[in-house]
Amino acid sequence: MPKRPHAQPGSPGSARISSHQPLQNRAAHALAPPAPDLPTPLLGNLSPAQFMRRYWQKKPLLIRGAMPGLASPLTRDELFALADRDDVESRLITHARKKWALEHGPFAPDELPSVKRRAWTLLVQGVDLHDERARTLLERFRFVPDARLDDLMMSYATDGGGVGPHFDSYDVFLLQVHGKRLWRIGAQRDLTLEPGLPLKVLQRFEPDTEWLLEPGDMLYLPPHIAHDGIAQGECMTCSIGFRAPTATELTAQFLYHLAERQEDANVSSARYRDPQQPAVTQPAEVPAALVEKVGAILAKVRWNDADVASFLGAYLSEPKPSVVFDAPKRPLDEMRFIQQAARAGIRLDRKTVLLYDRRAYYLNGEENALSGAKTWVTELANQRRLSAKRFVTLSSLPSMTARVHEWYCAGWIQVGELG
Ligand code: SIN
Ligand code: CO
């Protein structure tokens, strides 16, 4: 029912990215996704390429010590503070006397049950949008295309807490970041849900495997694997979740995109006409000729691969409805911005989505031609940052600094390579 957890950055052995760590180290260990062909502890010493071939969308994988020495990216109080914000999606799940209850946030601190009370869970969605440490943690999972990434959800539970046995429709990495959680999983076919509950709970849960996860351990689950995680004492779990739109959602969104495009191009001016309509005696009946003519209009709807690519880029890079960018209150003018970026580098704001394909790049839902900007846009999109040195080198390319300054003024990028 819920979505994803998330974990913590830092090189193996280092708990949190500390501001005392040398920059070089931080950049090298915390920010880079693992190389596709190198074995990594994150994936149980499989390379990302092997993991994708053998496990992704196929079968669960338990990874002991995926992030050894990991400490939670957020403390319990920091998570509670996020749950108090109205631009953050949070849910409270309680299970008492065999009854499940679900409440939606925001939750003021005194609206949450006491941490001494058993069996409750707080879920906070999209932590990566609000916390740099959470965003940094996601970088480790960028061996999967950004287009598939959804968000990092974090849960807090007291002893016995959980969200009930359920299945999710997307892939998830469940990373234990504090305390212990007992996961039971099963590849059952029967995914019937308990009727009438406020959350998705399986009617019959038949686990075939159980594992106790400790901080730094991680469980990968493909879609539709039944699972239930019960806190053993106070615990926190991060879920790195992936988006998998349904065919219905894609169809609806694509047709909407096409219609909008037609309107922009003023193609839709062909309006329904019926100069031959006779007078009727049964006014409630839809005329057969109307159905035929509308059918003919719809049969003219055409699209090609470029339309699909352009739809996907805009759709997948569109910020979530709750996202608000914080534009700088007193923005630097272009000259000053260039001077500072040349000293400190730049980075995409953690809420920014920048994707590209062969023809175009898509920045927070807006499409632009790639030609002329390919070198620096693809580098910025893949690295999500440019070092001071790279900024200086790339800033000689036409209109680079003007565009990047515009994005800085909109709050889409920040000065400084590291957050
Ligand atoms: C999940 O089962 O998808 C995550 C639940 C949790 O973190 O409590
Ligand atoms: Co789940």
Q: What does 29-88 look like in DSSP terms, one character per residue? A: IISSPPPTTS-BGGGTTB-HHHHHHHTTTT--EEETTSSTT---SS-HHHHHHHHT-TTS
Same-domain pairing of 61 and 194? yes
In-domain check, residue 18: no
Same domain, 229 and 94: yes
Query: Quick check: 239 and 192 in contact, CB under 8 A?
Result: no
Share of the chain above pLDDT 90, in %: 84
CA dihedral (386, 388, 392, 398) in degrees, to 10, reads 30
Edge-first strand order for the sheet with 366-369 is 354-356, 360-363, 366-369
Interior CA angle at 171 toward 352 and 203, to 5°?
A: 130
- Alpha carbon dihedral 188, 152, 376, 370, in 10-degree steps, equals 60
pLDDT average, residue stretch 40-55: 98
Determine the distance separating the centroid of ligand 1 and the alpha carbon of 239, expressed in angstroms.
7
Mutate to test the pocket of ligand 1, among 154, 159, 174, 180 (most ligand atoms within 8 A of CB): 174
Q: Over 60: is that where the pLDDT of 341 sits?
A: yes
The reply to whether 155 and 177 lie within a common domain is yes
- What tokens does 310 get? 């352009």
Nearest atom in ligand 1 to 237's CA: 7
Instruction: Kindly state whether residues 59 and 183 are assigned to the same domain.
Output: yes
Q: State the DSSP code for 148.
A: G
**Looking at the structure, do residues 252 and 176 belong to the same domain, yes or no?**
no
Question: 329 lies in a domain?
Answer: no
Alpha carbon 183 to its chain's center: 23
Q: Tens of pLDDT along 12-39?
A: 323 222 333 333 344 444 567 789 999 9
Say if pTM beats, i.e. exceeds, 0.85. Answer: yes
For residue 151, is it within any domain? yes
Measured from CB, residues less than 6 Å from any atom of ligand 1 are 2, 5, 121, 155, 163, 168, 172, 227, 229, 237, 239
Q: Which atom of ligand 1 is nearest to the CA of 172?
A: 3
Residues 221 and 340 in one domain: no
Q: Which of the ligands is closest to the CA of residue 229?
A: 1
What pLDDT sits at residue 16? 26
Question: Domain holding 357: CATH number?
Answer: 3.40.366.30
Q: Is the pLDDT of residue 263 over 50?
A: yes
Report CA(90)–ligand 2 centroid distance (Å): 15
Alpha-carbon distances of 225 from 184, 191, 202, 222, 351, rounded to whole Å: 10, 9, 11, 6, 30
Based on the domain organization, do 366 and 252 belong to the same domain?
no
Domain end position, chosen among 227, 242, 257: 242
Kindly state whether residues 113 and 201 are assigned to the same domain. Answer: yes
pLDDT of 106-123, one tens digit each? Answer: 999 999 999 999 999 999
* Ligand lying closest to the C-alpha of residue 4: 1
Looking at the structure of the chain, the number of domains it has is 3
Domain-located, residue 366: yes
Nearest CA to ligand 1 atom 6: 155
Q: Do 378 and 303 lie in a common domain?
A: no
Q: How wide is the angle at C-alpha 77 spanned by C-alphas 97 and 104, nearest 5°?
A: 50
* β-strand partners of 180: 232
Average pLDDT, the chain: 91
pLDDT at 158 over 90: yes
Q: Are residues 217 and 259 in the same domain?
A: no
Q: 253: domain range?
A: 247-267+299-307
Rounded to an integer, what distance in angstroms lies between the CA atom of residue 170 and that of residue 123? 17
Torsion-angle region of 320 (φ positive above 0: left; ψ -120 to 50: alpha; else: beta): beta
Q: What values do phi and psi take at 184, rounded to 5?
A: -120, 135
Residue 97's pLDDT band (cuts 50, 70, 90): confident
pLDDT of 267: 59
For residue 171, what are the contacts with CB-CB under 8 A and spacing of at least 6? Answer: 56, 57, 220, 221, 222, 223, 241, 242, 244
Buried b or exposed e, range 261-288, using 16+ CB within 10 angstroms: eeeeeeeeeeeeeeeeeeeeeeeeeeee
Residue 384 has pLDDT above 80, yes or no: yes
- pLDDT above 60 (res 1): no
Q: What is residue 6's predicted lDDT score, i.e. its pLDDT?
A: 31
Is 121 inside any structural domain? yes
- Give the domain CATH number at 136: 2.60.120.650
- 82 pLDDT exceeds 90? yes
Same domain, 62 and 76: yes
Same domain, 251 and 370: no
Q: Average pLDDT in the 38-64 region?
A: 98
In a domain, 123, yes or no: yes
C-alpha–C-alpha distance, residues 94 and 237, integer Å: 17
DSSP for 198-210? SS--BSS----EE
End-to-end CA distance of the chain: 32
Looking at the CA of residue 231, tell me the nearest atom of ligand 1.
8
**In-domain check, residue 39:** yes
Q: Quick check: is 222 in a domain?
A: yes
